Amino acid sequence: MDTVNSISKKKSSNERTLLRIVFGILFLFLTFCVVNPRFQNDTYYIIKLGEQLLDSGIDRVDHWAWSAQLINTYPHFLFNIILAVLYRMSGLAGIYVFELVVVYLFALSLYYLTEKVYDKVAGEKDMTLYPIVGIIVSAIVLLTFSTFMAARPQILSYLLWLWEAWFILCLLNTGKKRYAVAVVVIAWLCAMIHATAWYFTFVLFVPFIAAVYITKLGIFLSAKGIKFDSFLIIDRLILSNDSECKNVLKLWIILPVSYATGLLTPTRLCYTSIFKASSGSTVKYITEHKPLVLANAKYVLIGVILFVVLLAFFKVKCRLDLLLLFGGTMYMALNSNRHVGLLVYLGWFALFYLIFGALVMIPVKFREGIRKTIIPALAILVPAVLGLANNRVQRFSFYDSEFVCDEAIDYLKENYDVQELRLFNDYSAGAYLLFRDVPVFIDSRVNEYTKEFDPTLERNVFDDYMSVISLREDWREIVEYYDFDGYLIARDGVLNEMLSVSPDVEKVWEDDNMVIYMTVRDE
């Protein structure tokens, strides 16, 4: 009998290995579908700042904004250097390959860790269904997460946070030092790569610590004669185990050590950036900083509904720490669009847990039928169909014509001394102007152009920009204050409509997306 079980387990292991190889190839295809070769505007200023670091080191001086004397705070210090090195070695193509590699690693990591979640749910009940279900779950997450997969710092920080959550859980379960070291190293890397979002490194500790102390509260109440399981929701929860309750002190020790890693960054910006950014005026205007509207994120709404239905109407249990992680990331997502990604790929682990619990409850004969027919077909069709549908790029190009216009920049350089030109520009185009060595009025580092972020600024440049681009009541006063020599703006804005009929400026260049006006000076 033992021999039969051994052969069965070996066969199951071989089957899983083969499926992992097949799905690894499918994920590679899906990665090409998800990663858009057209870079976002932030990528260009990140490259330029990285080149400045390579050439001049840390001088804390901004060399590109003519509108204000900015202090260079290096919020993406290590990421700047990585992109600059890649750009100098292999141009924009090298950065695109870097994106593909990181996203592919993210996909494989997501698959691997959701497999671990399924193993905990299924135990010895059924180890055959997950590998196929896992590809569907991971593919859907990757596709809904595709907008966050760009050559910006979060492409690495999201991967790091995924593994940090896993290492925290491993530390609680085993107490082994190597997991503690991994958590500390990840905290330092996040501070060096994405200082403005470093705070989430510590938010991740909260659900795991809270789950332990809620469990301890239950034990305390039980000792006092109060039945903790009398709470209606308790029969739907898996509380922390003895090892997690025992090792929580190690997590408390690792928390301040991880926090101290911020001292090993160039400007220690990670300690203050979230407070500066959240108090600035950019929160009111930048889409990713605004609160989430569920009607505009249907996949999030569907996920929440599915989560509630599974927890309320099916006899499946959810780990308390994953439930708290889901609730915390949902709260963050509702407060800011930029946090939706955290909900989708971290918070949804609670949803995966419930889905897997429901799958294990399906009778064996039906599970086998699903595995052999419906699920394999979906495993191939879902990544292929959704991947092709998600690939919106009509032609392979690294440049987005909405904010990249080499012809306009070439015209300015041929006809004017751009180093002396006081040019008003759309903030979305600013990063590429900076990349092409044209001084900018503003660029996509918008927080750094606010007095909340830098109290030493004479004026809130971002507010001035919004006044001019939106033609507020004070826009003419601001134009007079800065005395613009010219304007490089989008054709479809209200400012273009106003300038097109103004006798104070002359249109000197235009294409389908952008237009240049130069101020008419008296001789």
pLDDT string in tens for the chain (523-residue length): 455 445 445 556 676 677 778 778 888 888 888 888 888 889 999 999 999 999 999 988 898 999 998 888 889 999 999 999 999 999 999 999 999 999 999 988 988 888 888 777 776 555 566 666 777 777 777 777 777 788 899 999 999 999 999 999 999 999 999 999 999 999 999 999 999 889 999 999 999 999 999 989 888 877 777 765 545 556 678 888 999 999 999 999 999 999 999 999 988 888 988 777 666 666 666 656 666 666 567 777 878 888 888 887 888 888 999 999 999 998 888 887 778 888 888 888 888 888 888 887 877 777 777 777 776 776 667 666 666 655 544 456 777 777 778 899 999 999 999 999 999 999 889 999 999 999 999 998 888 898 888 888 999 999 999 999 999 999 999 999 999 999 999 998 899 999 999 999 999 999 888 999 999 976 5
The Cα 141–Cα 111 span in angstroms is 10
Q: How far is CA 422 from the centre of its chain?
A: 34
User: Is 299 in the same domain as 356?
Assistant: yes
User: Is 371 in the same domain as 412?
Assistant: no
| Within a domain: 339 | yes
User: Is 199 in the same domain as 299?
Assistant: yes
Contact 457, 445 (CB under 8 A): no
The Cα 38–Cα 204 span in angstroms is 32
Number of domains forming the structure of the chain: 2
The Cα 307–Cα 219 span in angstroms is 28
- Determine phi and psi for 224, rounding to 5 degrees: -85, 5
The Cβ of residue 196 has, within 10 Å, a number of other Cβ atoms equal to 19
User: Is 117 in the same domain as 13?
Assistant: yes
| One-letter amino acid for residue 408 of the chain | A
Domain boundary among 390, 425, 458: 390
| Within a domain: 366 | yes
Contact 293, 337 (CB under 8 A): no
User: Is 209 in the same domain as 318?
Assistant: yes
User: Is 211 in the same domain as 322?
Assistant: yes
CA atoms within 13 A on the CB side of 28: 7
What is the residue whose two structure tokens read 């593994």?
A: 163
Domain boundary among 358, 390, 422: 390
| Within a domain: 395 | no
Segment 115-121 long-range contacts (CB within 8 Å, at least 24 positions apart): 116/166, 117/349, 117/352, 117/353, 117/356, 118/352, 118/356, 120/319, 120/353, 121/353, 121/356, 121/357, 121/360
- Determine phi and psi for 393, rounding to 5 degrees: -75, 120
| Within a domain: 399 | no
| Within a domain: 398 | no
Contact 399, 45 (CB under 8 A): no
| Within a domain: 262 | yes
Contact 259, 190 (CB under 8 A): no
Q: What is the pLDDT of residue 397?
A: 72
User: Is 50 in the same domain as 149?
Assistant: yes
User: Is 36 in the same domain as 123?
Assistant: yes
- What does the block give as tokens for 48? 């330029």
For residue 81, what are the domain limits?
2-390
| Within a domain: 397 | no
User: Is 57 in the same domain as 98?
Assistant: yes
Q: What is the pLDDT of residue 434?
A: 93
| Within a domain: 507 | yes
- Determine phi and psi for 423, rounding to 5 degrees: -95, 130
Return the bridge partners of 506, or none. Answer: 518
User: Is 226 in the same domain as 150?
Assistant: yes
User: Is 359 in the same domain as 435?
Assistant: no
User: Is 6 in the same domain as 35?
Assistant: yes
Domain boundary among 351, 366, 390: 390
